[in-house]
Amino acid sequence: MRLALTPGEPAGIGPELAVMAAQQARPYELVALADAELLQQRAAQLKLPLRLRQVDFTEQARPSEAGELVYSPIPLAAPVEAGKLDSANADYVLQSLSEANRLALSAEVAAIVTGPVQKSVINNAGHAFSGHTEFFAEHSNTAKVVMMLACPGLRVALATTHLPLKDVSEALSQEQLEQTCRILYSELQNKFALSKPKVLVAGLNPHAGEGGHLGSEEIDVIEPVLNKLRAEGMQLEGPLPADTLFTPRYLEQADAVLAMYHDQGLPVLKYLGFGRAVNLTLGLPYIRSSVDHGTALDLAGTGRADPGSIEVALDQAWQLAQNSRNA
């Protein structure tokens, strides 16, 4: 089995995370879609051993050896200095993502693991780019995806993602929320091997609207959707007040939480598991996981980057790929 790794922004810590990941043996073939010279340069800066081997997709995948990194060449447009952004390399980042998408759609890799990108550089280069989630949805022709972050003990999916808070209520509709719930529930069953998952669903407003006194979205949107899906046999509890939902009494009985907006659920998860969390895109025709942090330009090339999140992302992708193969 092969997994594709896109290191992301070349001036950030992504390339060295790839080098760090190569320091241990793995039961699958990890393929970095990257510039070989960049990987060697960063390995030298970190004083870590690195043997590069160009992938041959006509051959059977073999487990990765410690100190070896298999790569598929994506050439840089301009030389890279760690910590210094250059919009000339925006196309390099997008090419690696496009190639990962192609390989996953053709089943040449079993999953995609992504390092952090610098959205501003890509947009400044003239490419409309709002994030990995939206990029892979568009390029795989997937109409609807769900963003979920997970760490040991907690999974949080989002009904809306990168929206201004003032736009969240308008973005929530019964149709949109039903699609989100169906994707989340199906993926928990098929990729996480949970036969009958239990999902806690947050309300949008304080106190989950308090019977309509603090907002009507719970009554008009959330409750009708949950009632419909519960009648089909889904275990969905809510809408629950977000300030009490994230307590052991509720969470110890749940497999996942569905939050209504980005900063309702993710601060709790990142407080609990930052550095051990993984970002997953549900609903794609393939598995995609990612680190839970940014490019950390100030750490690039110093050797002080924490590889914890990339290790979790790799482990999660590997586990989900095995679950999918056995389903």
**Per-residue model confidence as pLDDT tens digits over 88-141:** 999 999 999 999 999 999 999 999 999 999 999 999 999 999 889 889 999 999
Burial of 232 (0-12, 13-18, 19+ CB in 10 A): exposed
* Cβ proximity of 135 and 248 under 8 Å: no
Give me the helix-helix angle, 90-105 and 132-139, nearest 10°.
50
Q: Give the closest residue to 157 by CA, choosing from 266, 58, 53, 313.
A: 266
Q: What is the pLDDT of residues 274-287, one digit of tens each?
A: 878 899 999 999 99
Give the Å distances, CA to CA, from 189 to 149, 198, 320, 323. Answer: 17, 10, 11, 10
* 76-99 confidence digits (pLDDT tens): 999 999 999 999 999 999 999 999
pLDDT tens-digit series, residues 28-61: 999 999 999 999 999 999 999 999 999 999 999 9
How long a stretch of residues is the chain?
327
pTM score: 0.91
User: What is the average per-residue pLDDT within 171-197?
Assistant: 96
- H or E element in which residue 53 lies: strand 51-54
Q: Which domains are delineated in the chain?
A: 1-142+284-327 (3.40.718.10), 145-278 (3.40.718.10)
What does the pLDDT read at residue 146? 96
Beta strand extents in 141-293 (DSSP E only): 146-151, 154-158, 198-202, 235-240, 256-259, 278-282, 287-290
d(CA 195, CA 189): 5
Of 190, 144, 162, 147, residue with least CA distance to 278 = 147
* Sign of torsion over alpha carbons 210, 213, 217, 222: positive
Q: What's the pLDDT tens digit per position in 144-168?
A: 999 999 998 999 999 998 889 999 9
SS3 30: strand
Reported as a pLDDT band with limits 50, 70 and 90, residue 327 is: low
| Residue 5: pLDDT over 70 | yes
